[in-house]
Amino acid sequence: MPSAAIGSLIGAYLSDSFGRRKCLMFACFCYMLGSVVSGSAYNRETLLTGRLMTGCGIGIACAATAVYVAECSPSHLRGRLIGLSQPFLNIGILIAMIISAVFSYDKKNGWRYIWGIQGIFSCIQFTALIFLPESPRWLLQKSCKDEAKETLTRIRNTKDVEQEMQTIEVNFKEIQKSIEKSGGGNLFLRMLKTSSVRRALVVGCGLHLFAQFSGVNTVIYYSGIIIQMSGVGNVSSALWNSVIVNCVSLTFAIIGMWLVDSAGRRKLAIIGLLGLFFSSLCLGTTFLMAARYSPSVNTTNDFPNNTCSTYSQCDDCVRDANCGFCHEDIRAVINGACLPVSDTSHLISESGSCNSSLTLSKYSMKWAYNYCPVTFSWIAIVGFALFLIFNAPSMGPLPWTLNAEIYPLWARSTGNALGAMTAWICNLIIAASFLSFIELIQSYGVFYVMASVALIGSVFCFFFLPETKNKSLEEIEILFSPKKPNV
């Protein structure tokens, strides 16, 4: 994730200097190379190098993809076309989860196949990009007027592009005059000095911040763990449940492609954040109930001086990384004991009835590590599905869609890159601290915090986010002028 944040800034430079298309091709190359290195890694350092390469490739792609699509799309289809990234993201996550679930049975080399297979998809994208045109707006910025007109004619599938070319040219000339008047200088400082761009930066980076801290990507990253913590014990079963839930998310991501241009960005963002608020409350309340009504420890273990023997409830037991809950599971959870985890594997206990796969099957025992068996785990899965359903058409694609729209041409790549960098930095903070926060304030506390952030985000969007539906990129610039209303 740090490499993705750095890659976003690199992507801004590459996108402005060499073009959006070539920038994306370079991103694919980085990802392909990183996948090969990761899959063939023979030590930790090599694996880390591969992950840095793939992270950099993702960051570069994030800085250029939405900008490229926005600059090539007609205004009435722009939101839908940029929004295509979300269903394809869901398809990618779905494929990744299926691959992870399939190779989860191969304990020795499964991870190598998972890392290596990633390179196939970036290779396909690299090949496809060879046949795509460059952004007409970038070409015009580089004084390639004839090529820009030819490209615009090709992607609009009509020769009647004079009016659109004229609008783009007029806007570009005004930008050039503005830059000359301000004396040029550092691009980033010029962005901060320009009030309309400064306001756009607040909105663009703010959207990414609220999306990340409301748990959008965190819930996806830890979907298997969340489902396992909700009471689905087997790791492979939890991964397959994640696959099913993300199929639901994919369905609503496809629906969101049409909603973004019909309902509008602003309304969709507010409703989506309110939906994340309520679904996070649902998840938090479910985990709170699981903690309050977790099975009791009513059987002593063989190590009375061990820390595990001090716990009286399953919830307290499994929150200790060194302990697990061993119980008989015929018709109900009975004869529960908190036992030390084996030094060789967290799938068995160090002693007692859960210390081997043979005793587990012989005595109908179940070993719960990092979760408690509960009868209402389905509520957490429903809450998880609702979270993804509200996220898929709204805060999944919208921050990327809007960041590609709200900046003027001269600041578009850098503004979008700063938004992407904000997303990756927040992503890193959340991903690195998620499990630690669970230990500190428990899982229900984390979801209540996410719910609060989503609620604040909906208020932010209500007051500061303008509607950009059916407006050209040049018209959107006017929305952020201090003399214009926000909505």
Q: pLDDT tens track of the chain, all 487 residues?
A: 678 888 888 988 899 889 999 999 999 999 999 999 988 888 888 888 988 999 899 989 988 888 898 888 887 788 888 878 778 877 887 787 778 777 777 767 777 888 888 888 899 999 999 999 999 888 988 888 889 888 888 888 888 778 888 887 877 777 676 666 655 567 788 888 888 899 999 999 999 999 999 987 777 666 666 666 655 556 566 666 667 767 777 788 888 878 887 888 999 999 999 999 999 998 888 888 878 888 888 876 656 667 888 898 888 898 888 899 888 865 566 778 899 998 888 778 887 778 876 655 556 678 888 778 777 777 777 888 888 889 888 998 899 889 988 988 788 888 988 998 899 899 888 878 877 887 888 888 988 999 999 999 999 999 999 998 888 887 888 888 765 444 4
Please indicate, yes or no, whether residues 201 and 332 belong to a single structural domain of this protein: no
Q: Could you give the angle at which helices 85-103 and 235-262 cross, rounded to 10 degrees?
A: 170
The radius of gyration of the chain from alpha carbons, rounded to an integer in Å, stands at: 25
Polymer length of the chain: 487
Last residue of a domain, one of 368, 395, 419: 368
Please indicate, yes or no, whether residues 322 and 224 belong to a single structural domain of this protein: no
What is the helix, strand, coil percentage profile of the chain, to 5?
70, 5, 25
Last residue of a domain, one of 337, 368, 399: 368
Read off φ and ψ for residue 414, nearest 5 degrees.
-70, -45
Asked whether 64 and 14 are in contact (CB, 8 A), the reply is: yes
Looking at residue 487, its pLDDT comes to 41
Please indicate, yes or no, whether residues 430 and 313 belong to a single structural domain of this protein: no
Distance from C-alpha of 270 to C-alpha of 163, rounded to nearest angstrom = 34
Please indicate, yes or no, whether residues 127 and 213 belong to a single structural domain of this protein: yes
- Residue 253 neighbours by CB distance under 10 Å: 26
Q: What is the DSSP string of 181-204?
A: HHT---HHHHHHHSHHHHHHHHHH
- Which pTM was predicted? 0.74
In a domain, 398, yes or no: yes
List the domain range (segments joined by +) for residue 352: 294-368
Please indicate, yes or no, whether residues 276 and 314 belong to a single structural domain of this protein: no
Last residue of a domain, one of 339, 368, 397: 368
Please indicate, yes or no, whether residues 238 and 357 belong to a single structural domain of this protein: no
Ramachandran class of 157: left when φ > 0, alpha when ψ lies in -120 to 50, beta otherwise: left
Looking at residue 486, its pLDDT comes to 46
Buried b / exposed e along 24-54 (16+ C-beta atoms within 10 A): bbbbbbbbbbbbbbbbebeeeeebeebbbbb
Looking at residue 229, its pLDDT comes to 60
Sheet of 365-368: strand order equals 333-340, 323-329, 365-368
In a domain, 153, yes or no: no
Biggest alpha carbon distance in the chain?
84
In a domain, 139, yes or no: no
Distance from C-alpha of 104 to C-alpha of 109, rounded to nearest angstrom = 10
Q: Between β-strands 365-368 and 333-340, what pairing exists: parallel, antiparallel or unpaired?
A: unpaired
Distance from C-alpha of 394 to C-alpha of 465, rounded to nearest angstrom = 14
Please indicate, yes or no, whether residues 90 and 15 belong to a single structural domain of this protein: yes
Asked whether 354 and 365 are in contact (CB, 8 A), the reply is: yes
In a domain, 109, yes or no: yes
Distance from C-alpha of 385 to C-alpha of 392, rounded to nearest angstrom = 10
Please indicate, yes or no, whether residues 305 and 223 belong to a single structural domain of this protein: no
Please indicate, yes or no, whether residues 254 and 128 belong to a single structural domain of this protein: yes
Asked whether 59 and 2 are in contact (CB, 8 A), the reply is: no
Please indicate, yes or no, whether residues 349 and 218 belong to a single structural domain of this protein: no
- The total domain count for the chain is 2
In a domain, 439, yes or no: yes
Q: What is the DSSP string of 420-467?
A: HHHHHHHHHHHHHHHHHHHHHHHHHHHHHHHHHHHHHHHHHHHHHPPP
Please indicate, yes or no, whether residues 251 and 316 belong to a single structural domain of this protein: no
Please state, in angstroms and as integers, the Cα–Cα distance from residue 68 to each residue in 20, 325, 464, following that order.
6, 52, 25
CATH of the domain at 271: 1.20.1250.20
**Beta carbons within 8 Å of 150's beta carbon, 6+ residues apart:** none
Please indicate, yes or no, whether residues 443 and 473 belong to a single structural domain of this protein: yes
Beta bridge partners of 338: 325
Distance from C-alpha of 227 to C-alpha of 379, rounded to nearest angstrom = 10
